[in-house]
Amino acid sequence: MTFPASSSSLPASPFAVDHLKIVPRRFYGRWLSAALILLVFAFIINAFVHGQIEWKIVAQFMTAKVIMHGLLNTILMTIYAMTIGILLGVIFAVMVMSPNPMLRAIAGFYIWFFRGTPLLLQMLLWFNLALVFPMMGIPGVFEARTVDLITPFIASLLGLGIGQGAYTAEVVRGGILSVDNGQTEAAKAIGMTRLTALRRIILPQSMRVIIPPIGNEVISMVKLTSVASVIQFSEILHNAQTIYFANARVIELLIVATVWYLAVVTVFSIGQHFLEKAFARNQRSTNRPRVARVNAAVVAAVAIPPAPDGVKS
């Protein structure tokens, strides 16, 4: 019995379809919806162009010195508060997972308190600390009036950073739990203590799970800084308000703030994209992390990169 060497020598079959022409699907619905959306957009844009908005004023204040100053403060506050938040988050995540019941209780209380109260309230509490403690410091070494120490900047930093730490702690905890327990056992088997294993083995491998939600929180933080306008911290929204209290161009200045928030968030989003790619590249492991008891949203946010060609698992 012989087999035909290639399909070309196959006898004509009623099941063969290769000689027929393939017609791609036509997406009439997409074209229609796109047209509709464009129409709606055109209508909205037209409304704004002819609405009671002085676009010249928007342009004029876009790069005003006070606005630029506010923009800088917004960006700096985001960076400072996130730095504090991530540091506290890692420390408290490690504490909450410690075998020491005292450390667990302290960390548990911290997360419970700062996740359980509104950010605005926390900021007001920090800002008004002078009502409770008129003086602060170490007696005999250094003392100062609390009103001088707790400036709007410091109160905002404490409120945003410490509050953020409580959320980041949960993200870091999820990341630590996502690393297979076998990694900890292998680290112990080569004589590592719990903390060395965490630092050298577990935390580096949990980064892939931790980075995407942290990126998300950086973006939240950009916008959360606006809450600090309430306690007179001169970030961008506060400065825009200061201007419109004087010139009554409310919408124009709110548009200025909107544009700048979108610009900053866009830049951070691009940064996040590259950071995630970099971490996905460094983690070429198929030591599939066991995803146990991890926040489902956290897991969903992490796309596991496809294994490179030729990888055996």
Partner 1 sequence: MSAAPMVVAHDVHKYYGAYHALKGISMEVAAGEVMCIVGPSGSGKSTFLRCINQLERTDSGAIWLGGELCGYRRKGDELRELSDSDIARQRLSSGMVFQRFNLFGHMTALQNIMEGPVVVQKRKRAEVRDEAEALLQRVGLAGKAGAYPGELSGGQQQRVAIARALAMRPKLMLFDEPTSALDPELVGEVLSVMKDLAVSGMTMIVVTHELGFAREVSNRVVFMDQGQVLECGTPAEVLTHPQHARTREFIAAILS
CB closer to partner 1 out of 4 and 310: 310
CB closer to partner 1 out of 18 and 309: 309
Radius of gyration (C-alpha) of the chain in whole angstroms: 28
**Nearest distance from C-beta of residue 281 to partner 1, angstroms:** 11
- Report yes or no: 213 and 171 within 8 Å, Cβ to Cβ: yes
- Report yes or no: 245 and 207 within 8 Å, Cβ to Cβ: no
Q: Is the dihedral of CA 200, 202, 206, 208 positive or negative?
A: positive
> What residues form DSSP beta bridges with 145?
135
Q: Is the dihedral of CA 241, 242, 247, 253 positive or negative?
A: negative
CB closer to partner 1 out of 272 and 283: 283
**Nearest distance from C-beta of residue 110 to partner 1, angstroms:** 24
| Structure tokens given for 241 | 């308000």
The strand pair at 135-138 and 142-145 is best described as antiparallel
Where on the chain is the footprint of partner 1 (CB under 8 A)? 180, 182-183, 185-194, 196, 200-201, 204-205, 282-287, 307-308, 310-313
**Nearest distance from C-beta of residue 192 to partner 1, angstroms:** 6
CB closer to partner 1 out of 64 and 180: 180
Residues 90 and 102: their CA atoms lie apart, in Å, by 17
Could you give the 3-state DSSP secondary structure of residue 197? helix
CB closer to partner 1 out of 117 and 285: 285
**Nearest distance from C-beta of residue 42 to partner 1, angstroms:** 51
Q: How many CA atoms lie within 13 A of 119 on its CB side?
A: 23
Dihedral (Cα; 199, 92, 213, 186), 10-degree rounding = 30
CB closer to partner 1 out of 145 and 199: 199
**Nearest distance from C-beta of residue 185 to partner 1, angstroms:** 6
**Nearest distance from C-beta of residue 285 to partner 1, angstroms:** 3
